[in-house]
Amino acid sequence: MNDIFTTLIAERWAYLLTVVMIIIGLHAMMMKRNLVKKLIGMNIFQGAIILLFIVHAYKFGASVPVHDAVLGDHPEAYMNPIPHGLMLTAIVVSVATTGVALALLTLIYRRFGTIDEIELLQKLREEP
């Protein structure tokens, strides 16, 4: 039992970091009143997942996944390119989502003059 934790902290600490980030992100998305903070929480959450992939793909002492005459053909000399590619795409996706979210927020702010969830709900209840 004990050594599991030690290994976990010693070698898998990066995964623990992703877990912490996920919790932070979820908390922000669920609990925060301010919609922008919700959005930030969402980004943290996505960042955590991206990190998960990258951490898995990272190798100590390995080089960029582009063939290099010096390093030769040893697979262990190169990092796994696929997760990086994937996460690049994931970043693009999260950027796009954030863009749309920000556009919505500006629209909300213009229409209701607030981005505080409680106040918004009040306004919704008042208006038909």
Partner 1 sequence: MSGAHGAEAVVDHAVSMGQSHLPILVILPLLLGCVLVPGLGLWRRRWAYPLTLVAFALSAYFAFRTLFAVLEGGPLHYTLASWAPPVGIELAVDALGAFVAAVVSIIALLVAVYAGEAVRRENPVREVPFFGMMLVLLLGLTGMVLTGDLFNLYVFFEVSSLGGYSLMAIGHKKAPISAFRYLIMGTLGASFYLMGVGYLYLLTGSLNMADVAGIISTMGLNPALLVSLVMMVVGLGLKMALFPMHLWLPDAYTYASSTSTAIIAPIMTKISAYVMIRMLFFVYDWDLFLNVHHIGDIIKWLAIAGVFVGSIMAIGQKDAKRMLAYSSVAQVAYIGVGIGMANPLALVGAMLHIMNHAAMKSCLFLVTGSVAMQTGAQRLKDYAGLGRRMPWTFAGFTFAAMAMVGLPPTNGFFSKWYLVLGGIEDGEWPMVGLILASSLLTAVYFFRLLERVYSKVPGEEQKPAGAEDPSFRMRLPILLLGVGVLVLGLFNAWFVSRVLSQALPHGMSLPGF
Partner 2 sequence: MIRRQENVILDVITRIMVPFIQIFAFYVIFHGHYSPGGGFQGGALLAGSVFLQRVVMGRERSLSGFHVKLGVPFGVIGILVYGGTGLVAQVFGGNYLQYEWLPFGLDPVWARNTGILLVEIGVAFAVMGILISIYDNLSAREGEGEKR
Residue 102 interacts with partner 2 (CB under 8 A): yes or no: yes
| CA nearest to 57, candidates 46, 66, 65, 69 | 65
Does 44 help bind partner 1 (rule: CB under 8 A)? no
Nearest of 2, 90, 97 to residue 50 by alpha carbon: 90
Q: How far is the CB of 9 from partner 1 (least distance, A)?
A: 19
With vertex at residue 8, the alpha carbon angle to CA 27 and CA 84, rounded to the nearest 5 degrees, is 70
Contact residues for partner 1, defined by CB under 8 A: 29, 35, 38-39, 42, 45-46, 49, 52-53, 56, 66-67, 82-83, 86, 89-90, 93, 96-97, 100-101, 103-105, 107-108, 111-112, 120, 124, 127
